[in-house]
């Protein structure tokens, strides 16, 4: 977010209840692996970071995330936070669920969740998801 939305500070974290994190789009649009999306799934939840997105950054983010190309739709969802429920928009892949992310991509998602304060078990579950490439030796 810092790279694409320099005018938009992170303002909190929360959970999108009734949705789950998944992957889609593997093989679509020339990506190396599947990309993140969320799908409705009663009983599940997705940890999210919340940003106060400046209008200048919103247009840039729509372009980068593929809204203007038709790859993603922008939806409004309810986010549960310690301060109460908020409305926020998310990007949801406009296509079928399926495919696996690259190890690098999944690592970036897990690292971001950890840095934002996601619970350890949530981050651990992210890190254990299958990938289409093995993790690099570090």
Residue 101 sits at the vertex; the CA angle it makes with 96 and 106, to the nearest 5 degrees, is: 130
Of 26, 40, 63, 65, catalytic = 65
Distance CA 108, CA 3 (A): 14
What are the residues facing 88 on neighbouring strands?
A: 77
Distance CA 15, CA 82 (A): 10
32 phi and psi angles, rounded to 5 deg: -70, -30
Q: Which residue has the tokens 């669920």?
A: 97
Q: Are 68 and 62 in contact (CB under 8 A)?
A: yes
65 labelled catalytic = yes
Q: Could you list the active site residues?
A: 65
């Amino acid at each position: 977010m810092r790279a694409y939305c320099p005018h938009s500070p992170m303002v909190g974290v929360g959970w999108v209840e009734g949705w789950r994190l998944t992957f889609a789009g593997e093989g679509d649009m020339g990506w190396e692996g599947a990309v993140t999306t969320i799908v409705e799934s009663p009983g599940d939840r997705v940890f999210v970071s919340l940003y106060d997105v400046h209008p200048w950054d919103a247009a840039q983010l729509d372009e980068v995330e593929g809204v203007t190309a038709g790859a993603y739709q922008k939806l409004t969802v309810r986010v549960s936070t310690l301060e109460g429920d908020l409305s926020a928009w998310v990007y949801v892949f406009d296509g079928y669920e399926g495919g696996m992310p690259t190890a690098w991509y999944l690592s970036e998602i897990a690292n971001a969740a950890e840095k934002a304060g996601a619970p350890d078990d949530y981050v651990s579950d992210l890190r254990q998801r299958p990938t289409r490439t093995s993790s690099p030796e570090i």
